[in-house]
Chains A and B, each alone.
Chain A
């Protein structure tokens, strides 16, 4: 036990300082109200205060901070996307992530591991080459590697996959990393709170008032908050919030499940993804294998997890890593992924003045946390879409101007 902890045990009024302070009362009005205190909402609050000096901000959250998809993802950060918009956007995010621990003075356990997207057939390898060329063109470290290189980086991997799906190559992305997802939310919350942002947990938005001139108030179960700017950053609950302002979207909500094994000795120091086998795996700093698969096949608006998911995933895992046969799965859970038809997010301004949206993060939201916060903060401060996110506006579905990012989704969904 550390001496500091022992000291707290004996001194009653000398408690560990809170990460952030929540005022007892919600003020009557704020410059900006952010609905949803996940990584994205909190990052936006932080950059509003830091980059734009807007500190009269309330972040309201119906549950606890980082308890939604921020705390339910498999924490992989990468930028080897397929479209120009995607590569530039996610690369900016990786750059912010790399220095985030220093920026927030808060350890987010950012750990660069290298990221292999395995190809089990020629067509997947062809897509990998395409992605590598696009990535290199925009200065992202990404290349196609072959079985010898994979065996060197991860000797435990069975390259024959039990003779069923032989590995013929991989897309290798050296900056691929993992981070502690809760720490990202808590770090942003702590620093935003220090600058004056107020965070209210267990406060549910129930309505948004607007007139011809735009948003006038956000209604919560703790009262009415006057504001002219409201941001929806609620992932799987976005259609419910859009109902409050009468907007529609192409979002469909599918559960995305993940699980961890019991902690085992360190052996996996890279991130392994296989689109054909529908799985991705990395080893956490605690030694657990963090594993995920593709989306559930049917739309469900709840966070239930299923036995079918674990048994299906473990079946595929054993093809890649047969020696894991005796390892137990410790926990499993699900998040509600808000999927768009083109696998790109929906960000920015909307037809209603003062109502902003940050959604459509489906299965790729965690890696975009810093850049989505930064660009949404700029969008709210300037009331016009930031240049990095103009292609992601909700209006693209009216104009049939989709982004086409499906080829870069981690696994075939």
Chain B
């Protein structure tokens, strides 16, 4: 079983998380891109990127920085309201 070292929750199994896409600019922040480009353009080459990860049991959202070339996680950061309120 693979685990994630989470600064908020401690050591949690991978299977407790759902991945919900890449942290990227909103369409309104990318006026250079048409709707089709924004909807469909991907750049799926090996890279280090930040993604939205959802921890199902605790209903918390995290920003996870991961290397897609070897699936190693570099950084896990609590996201959303909970992070702001520092709970």
Q: A106 near B: Cβ within 8 Å?
A: no
Contacts of A241-259 to chain B: CB distance below 8 A: 243, 248-253
Contacts of A367-413 to chain B: CB distance below 8 A: 397-400
List chain B residues, Cβ under 8 A from A14: none
**Are A299 and B2 in contact (CB-based, < 8 A)?**
no
Q: B25 near A: Cβ within 8 Å?
A: no
Q: B68 near A: Cβ within 8 Å?
A: yes
B81 to chain A minimum Cβ distance, whole angstroms, is 25
Knowing A239-B42, A248-B43, A308-B1 are in contact, say whether A301-B68 is a contact too (CB < 8 A): yes
**Are A341 and B1 in contact (CB-based, < 8 A)?**
no
List chain A residues, Cβ under 8 A from B40: 250, 341, 397
A250's closest neighbor in chain B, by CB? Answer: B40
From B14, B18, B39, B45, give the contact of A301 (CB < 8 A). B45
Knowing A308-B14, A397-B40, A398-B36 are in contact, say whether A301-B1 is a contact too (CB < 8 A): no
Contacts of B6-44 to chain A: CB distance below 8 A: 14-15, 18-19, 36-37, 39-44
The 8 tightest CB contacts between A and B, nearest first, are A250-B40, A301-B46, A397-B40, A239-B44, A253-B44, A248-B41, A300-B71, A239-B45
Contacts of A90-111 to chain B: CB distance below 8 A: none
Chain A interface residues toward B at CB < 8 A: 239-240, 243, 248-253, 297-302, 304, 306-308, 338, 341, 397-400
A365 to chain B minimum Cβ distance, whole angstroms, is 16
From A239, A298, A304, give the contact of B19 (CB < 8 A). A298
* A398 to B39 alpha-carbon distance, docked (Å): 10
Q: B57 near A: Cβ within 8 Å?
A: no
A to B CB contacts below 8 Å, 19 in the list:
A239-B43, A240-B45, A243-B43, A243-B45, A248-B42, A248-B43, A249-B42, A252-B42, A252-B44, A253-B44, A298-B19, A301-B44, A301-B46, A302-B69, A302-B70, A306-B2, A308-B15, A338-B44, A341-B40
Knowing A298-B19, A308-B15, A397-B36 are in contact, say whether A251-B44 is a contact too (CB < 8 A): yes
**Are A301 and B2 in contact (CB-based, < 8 A)?**
no
- Interface of B: prevailing SS: loop
* A301 to B68 alpha-carbon distance, docked (Å): 6
List chain A residues, Cβ under 8 A from B39: 397
A255 to chain B minimum Cβ distance, whole angstroms, is 9
**Are A304 and B43 in contact (CB-based, < 8 A)?**
no
* A298 to B46 alpha-carbon distance, docked (Å): 13
**Are B69 and A251 in contact (CB-based, < 8 A)?**
no
List chain A residues, Cβ under 8 A from B46: 301-302
* A398 to B44 alpha-carbon distance, docked (Å): 18
A236 to chain B minimum Cβ distance, whole angstroms, is 9
* A213 to B11 alpha-carbon distance, docked (Å): 56
A54 to chain B minimum Cβ distance, whole angstroms, is 31
A298's closest neighbor in chain B, by CB? Answer: B19
List chain B residues, Cβ under 8 A from A341: 40
A395 to chain B minimum Cβ distance, whole angstroms, is 10
* A297 to B2 alpha-carbon distance, docked (Å): 14
* A142 to B69 alpha-carbon distance, docked (Å): 41
List chain A residues, Cβ under 8 A from B37: 248, 398
Instruction: Kindly supply a per-residue 1/0 record for chain B positions 56-87, scoring 1 wherever the CB is within 8 Å of any chain A CB and 0 otherwise.
Output: 00000000000011110000000000000000
Knowing A308-B2, A398-B36 are in contact, say whether A301-B69 is a contact too (CB < 8 A): yes
Knowing A307-B1, A308-B14, A341-B40 are in contact, say whether A299-B45 is a contact too (CB < 8 A): no
**Are B42 and A302 in contact (CB-based, < 8 A)?**
no
A298 to chain B minimum Cβ distance, whole angstroms, is 5
**Are B1 and A297 in contact (CB-based, < 8 A)?**
no
B34's closest neighbor in chain A, by CB? Answer: A398
B46's closest neighbor in chain A, by CB? Answer: A301
List chain A residues, Cβ under 8 A from B43: 239, 243, 248
List chain A residues, Cβ under 8 A from B41: 248-250
List chain B residues, Cβ under 8 A from A251: 42, 44
* A304 to B37 alpha-carbon distance, docked (Å): 31
* A54 to B40 alpha-carbon distance, docked (Å): 35
Q: Can you add 20 more A-B contacts, CB < 8 Å, to A252-B44, A308-B15? A: A243-B45, A248-B42, A248-B43, A250-B41, A250-B42, A252-B42, A297-B18, A298-B19, A299-B68, A300-B71, A301-B46, A301-B69, A302-B70, A302-B71, A306-B2, A308-B2, A338-B44, A397-B39, A397-B40, A398-B36
